[in-house]
Amino acid sequence: MVDELTGLLSRKTFFEHLSKIPIEQSFTICLFDIDDFKFVNFTHGYTVGDKILKAVALQIQKAFKLYSSNFTIARTGADQFGVIIFDEIPKVRIEELFNRYLKLLEFKKGNDFIRLTISGGVSGGRGKGEVIFSQAENALFSAKSAGKNMITFYENFAAYDMEKFKEVRYKLVQAIKKKSIKPYFQPIVSLRTGRIFGYEVLSRIFLDTEVLSGDYVFLVADSLALTPEIDKILFLNAIKFFGEYKLFFNLSMKYFFKELNTIFEIARKYSLDLSNVIFEITESQKLLQEKTAISIFTMFKEFKAGIAVDDFGAGYSNFMYLKKFPADVVKIDGAFIKNAKNNIKDLSIVKTIVDVAKVHNLRTLAEFIEDEETYQVMKDVGVSLGQGWFIGKPSPEPMEVKINIK
């Protein structure tokens, strides 16, 4: 069976081939996944997305023909490709193939270019095909969680890593089944008055008495596509706290559109007033074309929900977004806040963001205010809002705070 779009073998046929490989035969499986491909479809349309998938499939075929005379290639996922290599190819050659021909791809569209990055996972040896495939998937997960745009080999894993992954996966699934994702509220205050403006709603994942915390837990959730369900439960459990204060919710970059649809469906179902809800759009969302982004943000306004541009100043942040998009709050990247009291360069960047935001009638928010001195510095340069452990730690219910600083 052939994949209709790319002309490669289908996923089903790929696994049929795997099942027929003698257990004593040595082979290698390489999995390649296009990083953040959903943005290509949403930004440029599915017709362009389909053309790019065909081009990527062709590029992978061409690359492997240069290194192997005996391989099988298939489309194993929506934007994932699998290759079974029957030749003995050294690890260094696979790395060379990836870095030279697949790591970064560029496609011309009119007068513009669409640039894509690829992540890869590799495993090989003798054994059952589905086991080797699973190992390659785990290696691909590692490449994705380590920052994407790299290739990882399963042999670099310790057995502990796999057991840890399986344990966290099991606990996350159980927590979701029990809907035990609880909202915690970190206060956000007006730096001018020291009084509460709102709260950032943070998720705490519980399994009985254990709290599943740490970056690794959320990386596993993200890789297994569990993040949208976690955020959905969080939002539903936070509804009872809707009131006079603003509530800030983070939207996952990877599952942005799915989460957006889910939230608006919930709002319609329960006739929710979202006028005191602010959704944080991370810097990554700016991969969207301008017209697309404006239409999305218009949807927010239809529900009377607010928009915060998160981590502003990091990555490819652009002041043009403040001019074009109807945001309400600009959250200044915490890296500048932490050092502003001691680093004139960081402080100058904060001042610039504040000045531009004021012209556009936007509030600015400083995260990571961990001491009184930083609070005072942010207040002096005109930052509107602040949050951090000096102001208040996350708690199970919105707690009233009042900062008394002259």
CATH number of the domain at 95, please: 3.30.70.270
Query: Cα angle at 284 between 282 and 289, to 5 degrees?
Result: 115
In a domain, 393, yes or no: no
- What whole-number distance in Å separates Cα of residue 120 and Cα of residue 152? 6
The model's confidence at residue 24, banded by pLDDT at 50, 70 and 90, is: confident
Do residues 171 and 318 share a domain? Answer: yes
Q: Is residue 401 part of a domain?
A: no
SS3 category, 32: strand
Residue range 158-192, pLDDT digits in tens: 444 667 888 898 999 999 999 999 999 999 999 99
Encode 199-209: b = buried (16+ Cβ within 10 Å), e = exposed: bbbebebebee
Looking at the structure, tell me whether residues 200 and 242 fall in a common domain: yes
Per-residue pLDDT, 399: 87
By CB atoms closer than 10 A (0-12, 13-18, 19+), residue 259 is buried
Start-end of H helices in 79-128: 91-97
> How far is C-alpha 112 from the geometric centre of its chain's CA atoms?
25
* Continuous segment of H or E residues that includes residue 29: strand 27-34
Report if residue 406 sits inside a domain.
no
The answer to whether residues 56 and 104 touch, using CB atoms and an 8 Å cutoff, is no
44 has which bridge partners?
Answer: none
* 2 assigned to some structural domain: no
Above 50 in pLDDT, residue 86?
A: yes
Per-residue tokens: 80 = 């994932």
DSSP annotation of 310 reads E
Rounded to the nearest angstrom, the gap between the alpha carbon of residue 331 and the centroid of all alpha carbons in its chain is 17
For residue 325, the tally of other CB atoms under 10 A from its CB is 20
> Is residue 59 in some structural domain?
yes
More confidently predicted of 133 and 319? 133
Q: What is the pTM of this model?
A: 0.67
Task: Look up the CATH number of the domain holding residue 231.
Answer: 3.20.20.450
Task: Determine which of 48-57, 201-210, 262-271, 308-317 has the lowest per-residue pLDDT on average.
Answer: 308-317
- C-beta separation of 228 from 252 below 8 A: yes
Q: How many domains does the chain have?
A: 2
State the pLDDT at residue 108. Answer: 80
Q: By the 8 A CB rule, do 152 and 365 touch?
A: no
Q: Per residue in 280-289, pLDDT tens?
A: 987 544 445 5
* One domain for residues 185 and 269: yes
Mean pLDDT of 233-253: 92
Tell me the percentage of the chain whose pLDDT exceeds 90: 53
pLDDT, tens digit (0-9, with 9 covering 90-100), for 306-357: 989 888 876 545 676 676 677 899 999 888 998 899 999 999 999 999 999 9
Q: Supply the range of the domain harboring residue 298.
A: 166-386
Give yes or no for a contact between 368 and 388, defined as CB atoms under 8 angstroms apart: yes
DSSP symbol at 98: I
The whole-number average pLDDT for the span 184-211 is: 95
Average pLDDT along the chain = 87
In the chain, the percentage of residues whose pLDDT exceeds 70 is 90
Are 337 and 230 in the same domain? Answer: yes
Q: How many CB atoms lie within 10 A of CB 278?
A: 25
